[in-house]
Amino acid sequence: MLDEERIKQDFPILFQTVNDEPLIYLDNAATTQKPKQVLEVLRHYYETDNANVHRGVHTLAERATKDYEAARETVRRFIRAGSTKEVLFTRGTTTSLNWVALSFGSQVVEAGDEIYLTPMEHHSNVVPWQQLAKRTGAVLKYLPLEADGTVNVARAQEMISEKGKILAVCHASNVLGTVNPIHELTEMIHAVGGYMVVDGAQSTPHQVVDVTALDVDFFAFSGHKLCGPTGIGVLYGKEALLNQMEPVEFGGEMIDFVYDEDSTWKELPWKFEAGTPNIAGAIGLKAAIEYLEAIGLEAIEQHEKALVAHIMPQLEQIEGVTVYGPTDVTKRTGIITFNVEGIHPHDLATGFDMEGIAIRAGHHCAQPLMRFLDVSSTARASFYFYNTFEEADHFVKTLVKVKEFFQDGFI
């Protein structure tokens, strides 16, 4: 069990009022708040160690380099990768997925090959593949979903053919809260000689991730969704594949020798990291991971499931509320995406904000999924380990209040 009331004290931003009400932050799928422990590490880095990495021989440069590379080792351990050569720092999930599609994708995908996605992918795991398909003449195919938004594994198996080259799928959906059967899907694409690319943006912050056990070829996530800074993310790739993959960006840092007409690259992982990297971001990410590990990823996952299990039956009692995704709470992360009949999601989000509660409304960068759900947009409350049961109850009460306001015209 996790003591969320105590944990909440670590997050200074949560102790403020919004529209004269205590802030309840339920937009954690968009980005998470940062604990004091991370803020202090960032402050300490800039106050005492700030220097460029892999360049200087002076003391500060050596300290910054040591801390930056220690962050890589922390990420390696966190996602259970075999080697730090397999851990590339990027700007975030979007950059990581673009790198794979741009470089690896262009190397292995040919005209007529098939690239599989699911309708629940975030645009960051759709558009780079659309562009790759256009460049190469490959065919994009969407694996079918069940009515509750989970992947229809049997039909996926039928659909994945000998032409399959890439299967790109989210580990957890940013809308439905479903967790996909990554290992099973990985076996399917490997069986036809293809590669598995996983968007881990919404799983890595909420559950134990083991890229080695999952046997995925590439895995992407963002630091800001797990209490780390913005502008830092990770691309994991199997060493043999990264060795074969060409860099996407070129310039300082990533070269070995630069001749007049051509150049050679450093070894992994540095051949991919052109220019001055986000040093503070990596160091902040390390602090965030250590913070999460101290709480325990299993405890975080349990807490979010307990919150959702507490809320879902209450939502079912409210007339006109539709919750999307599986009804089985054990199959969900801490995301609750919903609509209220007759009320636009943006009105709902504004109503919640009037009550100090931050939720998100819109298409959540998942327009193919909106078409599957046959809606133009939805509201979404996304919980994290620092959200309390009291906040969960307040969320439900506020939903009733906001609904009555828009239906009856007073609050």
* DSSP letter, residue 411: -
Region near ligand C6P per CB under 6 A, out of 119-127, 161-169, 319-327, 387-395? 119-127
Joined tokens for residue 96: 């990581």
- CA angle, residues 309, 312, 318, in degrees to nearest 5: 155
Residues 171-190 contacting ligand C6P, CB under 6 A: 174
**Closer Cβ to ligand C6P, 74 or 124, answer by number:** 124
- What DSSP line would sit under 72-109, residue for residue? HHHHHHHTT-S-GGGEEEESSHHHHHHHIIIIIIHHH-
Is residue 262 classed as helix, strand or coil in its secondary structure? coil
For residue 233, the one-letter residue type is G
Q: Is residue 222 a contact residue for ligand C6P (CB under 6 A)?
A: yes
Q: Which one is catalytic: 42, 365, 370, 400? A: 365
Please identify, using beta-carbon distances, which residue of 64 and 381 lies nearer to ligand C6P.
381
d(CA 349, CA 368): 22
Residue with tokens 């506020």: 398
Which of these segments, 72-80, 138-146, 196-204, 207-215, binds ligand C6P (CB under 6 A)?
196-204
Report the residue from 84, 93, 150, 207 that binds ligand C6P according to the rule CB under 6 A: 93
Based on the shown chain and the rule CB under 6 A, indicate whether residue 164 belongs to the binding site for ligand C6P: no
365 flagged as catalytic: yes
3-state secondary structure of 117: strand
174/339 with CB nearer ligand C6P: 174
Question: Is residue 334 near ligand C6P by the rule CB under 6 A?
Answer: no
Amino acid at 116: Y
Nearer to ligand C6P, 165 or 360 (CB): 360
Q: Please list, in sequence order, all residues whose beta carbon lies within 8 angstroms of the beta carbon of residue 47, skipping any fewer than 6 positions away.
A: none
In whole angstroms, the minimum distance from the beta carbon of 261 to ligand C6P comes to 36
**Among positions 33, 94, 118, 278, the unique one binding ligand C6P when judged by CB under 6 A:** 94
DSSP letter for each residue of 215-261: T-SEEEEEGGGGTS-TT-EEEEE-HHHHHHSPPSS-SSSSEEEE-SS
Residue 343 pairs with which residues in a beta bridge?
340
In angstroms, give the least distance from the CB of 10 to ligand C6P: 22
Q: Give the residues across from 362 on adjacent strands.
A: 378
The residue within the footprint of ligand C6P, chosen from 122, 271, 286, 394 (CB under 6 A), is 122
Q: Which of residues 351-380 bind ligand C6P (CB under 6 A)?
A: 360, 364-365
Please report how close the Cβ of residue 111 comes to ligand C6P at its closest, in angstroms: 28
Contact present, 335 and 380 (Cβ < 8 Å): yes
Separation of alpha carbons 310 and 127, rounded Å: 36
- The one-letter amino acid at 210: D
Q: Among 239, 249, 294, which residue's Cα sits nearest to residue 274?
A: 249
Among 64, 87, 133, 201, binds ligand C6P (CB under 6 A): 201
Q: Pick the piece of the chain touching ligand C6P (CB under 6 A) from 17-25, 86-94, 142-150, 318-326.
A: 86-94
**By the criterion CB under 6 A, which residues form the site for ligand C6P?**
29-30, 92-94, 122, 124-125, 170, 174, 199, 201-202, 222, 360, 364-365
Catalytic residues: 365
